[in-house]
Amino acid sequence: MNSSSDRAVAHAANLAEDDRRRILDVYGYLRSTSDADAVADVLPPGAPVEMVKAVTRVCTVDHAGCLVFSPDPSGVRDYLREQGLDARGPVPGSVVRDRLAARYGVPEEQVRSGRLDVRVVHARLPDGDQRGLEVLCLAPDDALDAPAVHDERLRQHENHVAVRPTDPGQLEDLRATLSCTGGPLPDGGGYNPAHGEDGATVLRFRAPGRTASGWPRHLEVIAPGRHTDVLLRHLAATGADGGPGEEADRRLLRGLTGAWGTQALRVMAELDIPDHLADRPLTCAELADLTGVDADRLYRLLRALCHPWIGALTPSGDAFALTRLGWRLTRRAPNSMRHLALLYGDLFYQSFTALTDGVRTDTQPFTAVFGQPPFEYLRDHPYQRRVFTRAMAEGAAFFTDVATAVDLSDVRTVADIGGGNGELIAHLCAANPHLECALLERPEVIGAARDNLRAHGQLERCTLLSGSFTDGRDLPAGADVYVVARILHDWDDQTCASILRAVRHAATAASTLLIIERPLPDDPEDPSVSCLWDLNMLVNNVGGRERTREQYGRLLREAGFELVGERPLRLDMAVLIARAA
């Protein structure tokens, strides 16, 4: 197609360059992607391989779709024909129209008046390929205001992959397969009378995050004809028009009652129920005797702890037994989380009651609740300080992964700046017998580090230094590797810059810096837990925050480092690798 013809068609269709690109992106995707890869793209990350096979065994990819803003759907059809596609339509897009109306709160009278008019153009690929494009066309001056149009262009909510069962009678089996654990979430659907001779039933699914192409993970299942029973079961899980249904309500209730589960787990730990059950299941009466509480009240707690939303206990005949999750709350578990349960259910539970003030104003929630900033409060309250210190150690289970993630075979010396109780360098020493290590910490923490390193049998290989993170004179000079683990998220940008400049002052041109943090993803819908931890920093820290990789990169550049790599760890943690610029 020559450039003058391209411009003429684009003008007739009133298509923006961005919309032409969207269409061509979908076209290129279909030409280069197999059915199995297309289905895997829109299922949740880590979805069972068997689910992908089950879908592709009974379905073929029907189309991939996108939304463009054009007042001339016929011109869009002509543009697709110029690309060599067999384009048909336009036809009304009532299902998409209703979904847009629900998403942006378009008044019903505007929908009824036809102001939100979605038209759909279908186009089949050339060379006998049965797959095609579905281009949804909406006039930019229609019922959606400018912010809504901007949101659609930015987020591409309507991009999707659609599959068609080879046998429409298998639609219910397919719906059930996709609804299994690890599958996508139901996301509405409907009957589209304009889709084919007999119309089509459309079931829509969504999954968190984005594909490699930057599209949302949206899957549509299209079956010719009316399948009312299947559609109603699907809508019961999501609600008509994609709104909240029973399953969505249950997910919301799970979030709203999360505080109850937090308290149930805290009380479970405080009563030592996990340790009482560590060797064998016990009846409620036996546990009541051991804990000294009323059996009826205890039974209500035990029953709640069995609920799948908590999952710490499971019935065992007339007794109760620990689940694998519940075992993690015992003192003897290798990666016990007992003190995390006590911290999150007590000190941090109370501080979160001031979250509203922390968001509305510059109030620091922890200080507002307890009358002192966090570290001052912990200094003056020994019991809470012990719980906090042990909880932080329990929350560092990923430290065991660092020695595997980072090759230290050619490294002679490691300096851990703000190394806490020494747990990380104890693991590094155990995995690398040739290492000599140094640990810099506050005076009140050095004793805990000495005791822990002695318990690990690594004290003789470690030099313990008392001093300030931000004072270059306190840092050991000339180490091959410097480690700053879970430190930067405690501080504002100015203090982080001071810490990193101090490290750069102590380091040589050949030194490597390892930063261990939980980076924020660029996509707010990413399932990483780091956004929740960022909220925790807002509540329980003064000036601290989680940061994106770009933000860490900027801090490093300002301090004379360059971010050169990254290694993933458990629980969305990562090792960011930097070297002198």
Cα 529 to Cα 367: distance, rounded to the nearest angstrom: 24
Q: Which of 3-12, 52-61, 477-486 has maximum average pLDDT?
A: 477-486
- What pairs with residue 118 in β-bridges? 138
Residue 489 annotated to the active site: yes
What are the residues whose beta carbons fall under 8 Å from the beta carbon of 412, sequence distance 6 or more? 434, 435, 436, 480
pLDDT at position 440 is 95
The average confidence (pLDDT) of the chain is: 89
CA dist 296 to 60, 199, 285, 308, 322, Å? 56, 58, 9, 21, 20
Burial 545-570 (b: 16+ CB within 10 A, else e): bbbebebbbebbeebebebeeebebe
Alpha helices by DSSP H, listed for 461-562, are 493-506, 530-540, 549-558
pLDDT of 339 higher than 90: yes
User: Which CATH class name applies to 257-345?
Assistant: mainly alpha
The mean pLDDT value for 50-62 works out to: 90
The mean pLDDT value for 92-96 works out to: 81
pLDDT-derived band at 238 (thresholds 50, 70, 90) equals low
Top pLDDT among 294 and 33 is at 294
Q: Which of 35-39, 49-53, 458-462 has maximum average pLDDT?
A: 458-462
- Written as six digits, the tokens of 246 are 């029973």
The mean pLDDT value for 252-257 works out to: 89
Top pLDDT among 82 and 10 is at 82
pLDDT-derived band at 247 (thresholds 50, 70, 90) equals low
pLDDT-derived band at 474 (thresholds 50, 70, 90) equals confident
pLDDT at position 1 is 41
The mean pLDDT value for 143-161 works out to: 83
pLDDT of 14 higher than 80: no
- What are the residue ranges of CATH 1.10.10.10 in the chain? 257-345
State what percent of residues in the chain have pLDDT above 70.
95
SS3 label, residue 569: coil
Cα 515 to Cα 534: distance, rounded to the nearest angstrom: 17
- What are the residue ranges of CATH 3.10.180.10 in the chain? 3-252
- What pairs with residue 185 in β-bridges? 206
Cα 318 to Cα 301: distance, rounded to the nearest angstrom: 15
pLDDT-derived band at 151 (thresholds 50, 70, 90) equals confident
In this predicted model, what pLDDT tens digit does every residue of 460-473 receive, in sequence order?
999 999 988 877 78
pLDDT at position 12 is 46
pLDDT-derived band at 49 (thresholds 50, 70, 90) equals confident
Q: Is the peptide bond before 90 cis (omega within 30 degrees of 0)?
A: yes
- Written as six digits, the tokens of 505 are 């002052």
Q: Which of 5-19, 193-207, 421-435 has maximum average pLDDT?
A: 421-435
pLDDT at position 232 is 84
Top pLDDT among 398 and 114 is at 398
The mean pLDDT value for 376-394 works out to: 91
- What are the residue ranges of CATH 3.40.50.150 in the chain? 395-580
In this predicted model, what pLDDT tens digit does every residue of 520-566 receive, in sequence order?
998 887 888 999 999 999 999 999 999 999 999 999 999 999 999 99
pLDDT at position 248 is 64
- CATH no., domain 395-580: 3.40.50.150
What is the separation of C-alpha 523 from the centre of its chain, rounded to a whole number of angstroms? 9
The mean pLDDT value for 65-78 works out to: 88
Place of tokens 């847009």: 100
Catalytic residue among 122, 160, 276, 489: 489
- Helix pair 94-104, 146-155: axis angle to 10 deg: 110
The mean pLDDT value for 426-442 works out to: 94
pLDDT at position 9 is 47
Q: Which of 41-50, 203-212, 415-424 has maximum average pLDDT?
A: 415-424
Give the burial class of 6: count Cβ atoms within 10 A of its Cβ; 0-12 exposed, 13-18 middle, 19 or more buried: middle
CA dist 81 to 60, 87, 89, 192, 431, Å? 23, 6, 12, 24, 63
pLDDT of 18 higher than 90: no
Range with lowest mean pLDDT among 249-253, 290-294, 337-341: 249-253
- CATH no., domain 3-252: 3.10.180.10
- Choose among 480, 496, 479: nearest CA to 557: 496
